[in-house]
Amino acid sequence: MADNAKWYVAHTYSGYENTVAASIEKAVENRGLRDLIHEVNIPLETVTEITDNGPKTVERKVFPGYVLVKMVMTDETWHLVRNVRGVTGFVGSGNKAIPLTDDEIASLGVEKREVVVNYQVGDSVKITDGALESFLGTVEEIDLDHSKVRVVVSMFGRETPVELELDQVEPLS
């Protein structure tokens, strides 16, 4: 069942996001639907605001008026979320909720995909994807926080650093 779970976007009254998320979580617990509704998420970003008293760090909603719900879409789960006070509907066409694509989920940073890195700084690697596919290079830097790797590639007789995703390179065996 967990493989069928997808991320859906519920539209809420502005300012009701936290209340809606809490209500969905409570309803899921009360009805024992944890196997159908896995997670409720409100995307937040940390922003530093400059005020008269100096800089202040606050968390701000990335998409005010929306709550993300990872669930298996059934009539029961649709009605549960749809009938929570403050929810105006799902994002989609008509009464049909449309799930987010994997690319959209990745760009929102909702789910952290764990990439196992089996190479380290100084290793020789082969680029497996992108414009420089099949080029060979040496790992110069690995940035796990941003899922990036910097590889030095020899192009036209020059050493050129290239920034790639962690899964775009593989170690030479």
Report yes or no on 119 lying in a domain. no
Claim to verify: residue 7 and residue 79 sit in the same structural domain: yes
Claim to verify: residue 9 and residue 74 sit in the same structural domain: yes
Low-confidence ranges of the chain (pLDDT < 70): 1-3, 109-116
The predicted pLDDT at position 76 comes to 92
Helix (H) or strand (E) holding 103: helix 102-108
> CATH number of the domain that 20 lies in?
3.30.70.940
| Angstrom distances, CA of residue 75 to CA of 34, 48, 151, 168 | 15, 42, 49, 40
Residue 133, Cβ neighbours under 10 Å: how many? 10
Residue 62: strand pairing partners? none
Claim to verify: residue 15 and residue 93 sit in the same structural domain: yes
The predicted pLDDT at position 118 comes to 85
The predicted pLDDT at position 113 comes to 57
Residue-range definition of the domain harbouring residue 68: 2-108
Angle at 109 between CA 84 and CA 43, to 5 degrees: 35
Considering its fold, how many domains does the chain have in total? 2
Claim to verify: residue 10 and residue 71 sit in the same structural domain: yes
How many whole angstroms separate alpha carbon 83 and alpha carbon 27? 11
Report yes or no on 118 lying in a domain. no
Backbone conformation region of residue 157, classed left if phi is above 0, alpha if psi is from -120 to 50, else beta: left
Report yes or no on 152 lying in a domain. yes
Claim to verify: residue 18 and residue 87 sit in the same structural domain: yes
